[in-house]
């Protein structure tokens, strides 16, 4: 006798969706979903923040309510339109993802047009956004506000926060400070809590103001 799991009740799907959205809100990378007409279907706060920096610059973006001011950057819209046109011209050919970068401000976006195989199913754009300041900025002076924020942290947490400011990833911070990645993740969680932020992108933005 074979076992088949019972189908989840309809409300179970809605509950899972709510949990997925909550979970994706906390990841340290921007996630943005657009329809074919480049209208936003969903995005997390990291995506809104990266787009704000792209559109307004770092200083102005830091003062904005980024969700309310969300707008797709022109550079990303141009690539999305090109990918869509390429797919419309040759629907059977794969459309490869493209990466767009603004190296001066440490902004990167990977854009993929996801076209489901089913007939009549509209495609959508999956965009991953990463906002990291260029490296080599360790000796740039801190603003008084950034110094005040760092004062809330322990010495070991400040060492981690300063490397987040530079755009280093967890493994890179761990290697440089000779700590385990798990220790760095624990210290990052403490930094987020003490500074009242949800992710490392916001830490970098606050310390670079």
How much is the average pLDDT of 167-188? 91
- Specify the DSSP class assigned to residue 94: -
Q: What are the tens digits of pLDDT across the range 95-148?
A: 789 999 887 777 889 999 987 765 666 789 999 998 765 555 556 778 888 889
Residues with Cβ within 8 Å of residue 163, at least 6 apart in sequence: 172, 173, 176, 177
**Could you tell me if 134 and 104 are in contact, meaning their C-beta atoms sit under 8 angstroms apart?**
yes
Question: Which residue shows structure tokens 């046109």?
Answer: 85
Which one has a higher pLDDT value, 107 or 209?
Answer: 107
Paired tokens of 183: 């220790």
pTM given for the model: 0.61
At 5 the pLDDT is 47
Half-sphere exposure of 29 (CA within 13 A, CB side): 10
Q: Percent of the chain having pLDDT more than 90? A: 39
Nearest to 128 by CA among 16, 200, 63, 51: 51
Average per-residue pLDDT for the chain = 83
Whole-number Å distance between alpha carbons of 124 and 80: 10
Name the CATH topology of 25-131: Beta-Lactamase (3.30.450)
User: Does position 12 have pLDDT exceeding 60, yes or no?
Assistant: yes
Q: Where are the domains of the chain?
A: 25-131, 144-207
Whole-number Å distance between alpha carbons of 147 and 187: 18
- Specify the DSSP class assigned to residue 103: G
Which one has a higher pLDDT value, 187 or 168?
Answer: 187
How much is the average pLDDT of 195-202? 87
Paired tokens of 174: 């761990």
Nearest to 106 by CA among 129, 138, 78: 129
At 3 the pLDDT is 44
Distances 91 to 83, 117, 168, 195 between C-alpha atoms, Å:
11, 10, 39, 48
User: Does position 164 have pLDDT exceeding 60, yes or no?
Assistant: yes
At 2 the pLDDT is 43
Q: What are the tens digits of pLDDT across the range 145-160?
A: 888 999 999 999 999 9
How much is the average pLDDT of 75-80? 96
User: Does position 13 have pLDDT exceeding 70, yes or no?
Assistant: yes
Q: What are the tens digits of pLDDT across the range 19-34?
A: 777 777 766 678 999 9
The full DSSP string for 114-129 is E--SSTT---EEEEEE
Half-sphere exposure of 5 (CA within 13 A, CB side): 3
At 54 the pLDDT is 92
**Could you tell me if 55 and 89 are in contact, meaning their C-beta atoms sit under 8 angstroms apart?**
no
Q: Percent of the chain having pLDDT more than 70? A: 86
Environment class of 20 (CB within 10 Å of its CB; exposed 0-12, middle 13-18, buried 19+): exposed
Alpha helices, H only, 90-199: 144-150, 155-166, 170-177, 181-195
Overall CATH class of domain 144-207: mainly alpha
At 76 the pLDDT is 96
């Amino acid at each position: 006798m074979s076992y088949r799991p019972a189908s989840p009740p309809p409300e179970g799907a809605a509950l899972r969706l709510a949990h997925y959205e909550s979970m994706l809100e906390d990841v340290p990378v921007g996630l943005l979903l657009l329809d074919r007409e480049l209208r936003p279907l969903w995005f997390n706060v990291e995506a809104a923040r990266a787009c704000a920096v792209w559109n307004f610059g770092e200083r102005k973006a830091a003062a904005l309510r980024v969700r309310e001011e969300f707008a797709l950057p022109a550079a990303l819209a141009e690539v999305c339109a090109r990918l869509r046109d390429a797919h419309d011209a040759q629907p059977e050919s794969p459309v490869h993802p493209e990466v767009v970068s603004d190296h001066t401000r440490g902004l990167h976006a990977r854009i993929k047009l996801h076209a489901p195989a089913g007939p009549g199913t509209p495609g959508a754009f999956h965009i991953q956004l990463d906002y990291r300041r260029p490296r080599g900025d360790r000796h740039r002076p801190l603003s008084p506000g950034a110094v005040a924020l760092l004062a809330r942290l322990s010495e070991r947490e400040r060492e981690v926060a300063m490397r987040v400011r530079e755009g280093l990833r967890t493994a890179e911070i761990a290697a440089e400070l000779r700590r385990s990645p798990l220790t760095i993740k624990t210290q990052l969680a403490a930094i987020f809590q003490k500074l009242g932020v949800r992710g490392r992108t916001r830490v970098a933005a606050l310390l670079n103001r």
